[in-house]
């Protein structure tokens, strides 16, 4: 079926869902209530609703909200544009650390209830999301302490483990959350196994044996307390780790050995002050300072000599963010905000082969960005069924690359419009139009070298941000009390598409990150959460999340249409679970696609394909809050393949000099968890 035909069919399905939905009354359902009728925008889930799922953390509770798709936020620079879709006590956490980990470190006993907000609600900043879950903590809860131990073994030979402790306290308006862990790990990716490299005729070119893993620690702490009529929060993280990889290559010429080490030290300090001044006026101020040091050492040796590649990256980020909210009347809220951000990357790399330094362009670079972003928005609950959100952001930034004598300033206007309409208490339809501007990846300004494949990717100091217009139609419907289905149709129009370009250094062709013009993409996103009791599977739940992506861009080398590099066509997850609350047991099956990926390099075409990742698990929770969980991951031995087609010069325009296929099989992994909640 052609893409436009598929879109038409899905639009027809969406329309059928919309117009066949019959109105239904809102009622309490196992701890679920609605704050408004006739198209409620806030659904409240009491802790009793989650008891059937035997949850132990706030994150467990969030994942069981019907129809909700958790988004942990973006990894981009700055604060305002990276928010996930979960709030804690109506506020975004004061850290850019992983949102899932932050929620996992809050014991379920500390939670009073959850709120699912669709379209908007008084006092809730949607951060551009259609839906938000607000985790509301108890005002005065008994302190909670949890200890978690994890043991993993792969192929009966490689072992790893985690020892983690969390502490939560929320009394007298003072909240303290602390988590710390130490861990060891093995690389369970495609590389940590035996691999066989063959040419197009099936002749073995090389056998590859690889072992990788490492160790580290993670620590995160936050403390909030009343101050001057408001609340002040401090937070910090420190997460050092070391990764080691050893690989041996066996071919007809002999044996080559490679040692790779990466030392990563990220840290963060931040603070937030929030205060309600009355008359619907709220103020929120954030300050954040992040630093990361990454040192890579890659050494390869064989009979012909030694190659040594090293790179040191230092990144810094300083953020000052302020937000003012005014609820003029019930259902009408105005927001103003501004953010100032400074980011820098200092990267220095060396490449030495056979004791002779090689000159790789842009091997030493400094990139810095000064950026301000201001916004104004209005959230209007026009009727009980219809809500609007309109926003205008203005971004002004200056990118400087001293070594390339570059200092460019950009100004972008980023409007956003969103409307949510409730056809009934069970069915909602929403539309969103937004102008998005991607941030430039600092890594794209610097060169890198892959010794395994002898690939050199040059830095490009002339990069500009990718921009797009996004239009989204979403239809969602709830059913069977705990079931939900949603269908999203998304259309992207890209400008200055980020991909790969060819760069010449004399007769030599290099690949570099670059902008390749306009592109289009259509996404179809289907999400289904359904209880299975009516299908004779008592206490069973099935969740399906499927994303189809079709993209088209003109290849800068061949002039022909192709898809955007790295944009996989199909991504899916399937989860089945069955909970037996009386016995404290549960079990489940999970499957996740790891993707089929293609990159269009200047002189090379790369394809990578993973078989789906699966796991089966069993859990038992005692009445005294001791939880045991056993998981068998990848029980069938996941297959991975990577195909390379290397050309003499420009891809598709010169003869092929190497066709290589590398395959491997990842062994099963057994994981045992033991957790005690005090």
Interval 387-439: pLDDT, tens: 899 999 999 989 888 877 888 888 999 999 999 999 998 899 999 999 999 87
pLDDT for the residue numbered 21: 37
CATH superfamily of 3-677: TonB-dependent receptor, beta-barrel domain (2.40.170.20)
Is 302:255 a contact under the CB 8 Å cutoff? Answer: yes
pLDDT for the residue numbered 498: 92
Query: Within 10 Å of residue 676's Cβ, how many Cβ atoms?
Result: 14
Domain boundaries, given as residue ranges, for the chain: 3-677
pLDDT for the residue numbered 330: 78
Stated as kind and residue range, the H or E segment containing 3 is helix 3-20
| Reported confidence tier of residue 227, pLDDT bands at 50, 70, 90 | very high
Of 570, 615, 565, whose CA–CA distance to 589 is shortest?
A: 615
Which carries the bigger pLDDT value, residue 616 or residue 209?
616
Q: Are strands 626-633 and 669-677 parallel, antiparallel or unpaired?
A: antiparallel
Query: Within 10 Å of residue 481's Cβ, how many Cβ atoms?
Result: 12
pLDDT for the residue numbered 17: 34
Q: What is the mean pLDDT of residues 320-346?
A: 90
Which carries the bigger pLDDT value, residue 446 or residue 593?
593
Q: What is the mean pLDDT of residues 223-243?
A: 94
Of 513, 576, 574, 588, whose CA–CA distance to 541 is shortest?
A: 576
CA atoms within 13 A on the CB side of 554: 7
Q: What is the pTM of this model?
A: 0.81
Q: Report the alpha-carbon distance of residue 178 to residue 620 in Å, rounded.
A: 26
Is residue 362 helix, strand or coil?
coil
Q: Report the alpha-carbon distance of residue 489 to residue 121 in Å, rounded.
A: 25
pLDDT for the residue numbered 75: 62
Q: What single string gives the DSSP state of each residue in 163-222?
A: EEEEEEEEETTEEEEEEEEEEEEE--STTSSEEEEE-TT--EEEEEEEEEEEEEEEEEEE
Residue 285 forms beta bridges with which residues? Answer: 273, 322
Of 585, 496, 596, 579, whose CA–CA distance to 539 is shortest?
A: 579
pLDDT for the residue numbered 79: 67
Of 176, 126, 160, 167, whose CA–CA distance to 145 is shortest?
A: 167
Is residue 622 packed enough to be buried (19+ CB in 10 Å), middle (13-18) or exposed (0-12)? exposed
Q: What is the mean pLDDT of residues 601-610?
A: 89
pLDDT for the residue numbered 477: 93
Q: Is the dihedral of CA 87, 390, 383, 13 positive or negative?
A: negative
Q: Where are the beta strands (DSSP E) in 569-655?
A: 570-580, 585-592, 596-600, 604-610, 613-621, 626-633, 639-647
**Across the chain, which distance is largest between two alpha carbons, in Å?**
79
Q: What is the mean pLDDT of residues 456-466?
A: 78
């Amino acid at each position: 079926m052609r893409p436009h035909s598929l879109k038409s069919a899905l639009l027809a399905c969406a329309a059928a869902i919309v117009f066949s939905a019959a109105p239904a009354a809102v009622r309490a359902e196992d701890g679920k209530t609605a704050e408004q009728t006739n198209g409620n925008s806030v659904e409240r889930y009491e802790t009793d609703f989650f008891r059937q799922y035997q949850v132990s953390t706030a994150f467990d509770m969030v994942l069981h909200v019907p129809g909700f798709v958790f988004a942990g936020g973006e990894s981009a620079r700055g604060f305002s544009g990276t928010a996930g879709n979960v709030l804690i006590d109506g506020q975004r956490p004061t850290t850019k650390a992983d949102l899932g980990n932050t929620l996992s470190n809050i014991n379920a006993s500390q939670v009073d209830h959850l709120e699912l907000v669709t379209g908007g609600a008084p006092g809730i900043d949607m951060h551009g999301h259609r839906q938000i879950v607000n985790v509301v903590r108890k005002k005065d809860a008994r302190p909670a302490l949890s200890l978690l131990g994890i043991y993993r073994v792969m192929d009966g030979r490689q072992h790893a483990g985690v020892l983690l402790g969390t502490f939560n306290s929320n009394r007298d308006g003072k909240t303290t959350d602390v988590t710390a862990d130490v861990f060891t790990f093995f690389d369970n990716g495609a590389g940590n196994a035996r691999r066989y490299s063959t040419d197009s005729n099936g002749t073995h070119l090389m056998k590859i044996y690889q072992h990788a893993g490492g160790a580290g620690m993670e620590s995160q702490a936050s403390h909030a307390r009343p101050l001057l009529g408001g609340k002040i929060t401090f937070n910090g993280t420190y997460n050092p780790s070391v990764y080691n990889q050893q690989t041996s290559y066996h071919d007809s010429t002999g044996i080559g050995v490679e040692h790779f080490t990466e030392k990563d030290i990220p840290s963060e300090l931040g603070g937030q002050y929030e205060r309600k001044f009355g008359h619907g006026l709220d103020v929120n101020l954030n300050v954040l300072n992040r630093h990361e040091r990454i040192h890579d050492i890659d050494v390869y040796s064989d009979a012909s000599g030694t190659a040594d590649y090293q790179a040191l990256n230092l990144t810094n980020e300083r953020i000052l963010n302020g937000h003012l909210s005014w609820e003029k009347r019930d259902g009408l809220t105005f927001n103003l905000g501004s953010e100032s951000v400074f980011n820098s990357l200092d990267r220095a790399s060396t490449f030495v082969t056979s004791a002779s330094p090689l000159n790789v362009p842009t091997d030493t670079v400094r990139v810095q960005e000064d950026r301000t972003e201001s916004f104004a928005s209005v959230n209007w609950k026009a009727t009980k069924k219809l809500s609007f959100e309109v926003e205008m952001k203005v971004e002004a930034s200056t990118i400087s690359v001293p070594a390339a004598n570059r200092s460019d300033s950009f100004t972008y206007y980023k409007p956003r419009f969103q409307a949510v309409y409730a056809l009934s208490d069970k069915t909602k339809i929403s539309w969103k139009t937004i102008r998005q501007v991607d941030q430039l990846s600092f890594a794209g300004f610097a060169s890198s070298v892959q010794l395994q494949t002898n690939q050199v990717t040059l830095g490009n100091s002339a990069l500009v941000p990718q921009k797009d217009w996004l239009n989204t139609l979403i239809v969602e419907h709830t059913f069977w009390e705990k079931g939900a289905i949603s269908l999203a149709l998304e259309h992207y129009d890209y400008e200055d598409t980020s991909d790969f370009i060819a760069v010449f250094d004399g007769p030599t062709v290099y690949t570099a990150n670059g902008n390749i013009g306009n592109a289009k993409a259509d996404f179809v996103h289907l999400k289904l959460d359904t209880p299975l009791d009516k299908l004779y599977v008592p206490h069973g739940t099935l969740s399906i999340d499927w994303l189809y992506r079709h993209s088209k861009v003109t290849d800068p080398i061949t002039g022909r249409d192709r898809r955007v590099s790295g944009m996989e066509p199909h991504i899916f997850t399937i989860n089945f679970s069955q909970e037996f609350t009386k016995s404290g047991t549960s079990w489940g099956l999970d499957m996740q696609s790891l993707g089929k990926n293609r990159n269009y390099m200047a002189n090379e075409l790369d394809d990578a394909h993973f078989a789906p990742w699966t796991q089966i698990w069993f859990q038992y929770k005692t009445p005294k809050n001791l939880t045991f969980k056993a998981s068998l991951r990848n029980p069938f031995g996941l297959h991975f393949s990577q195909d390379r087609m290397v050309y003499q010069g420009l891809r598709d325009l010169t003869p092929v000099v190497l066709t290589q296929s590398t395959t491997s099989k990842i062994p099963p992994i057994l994981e045992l968890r033991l957790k005690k909640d005090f």
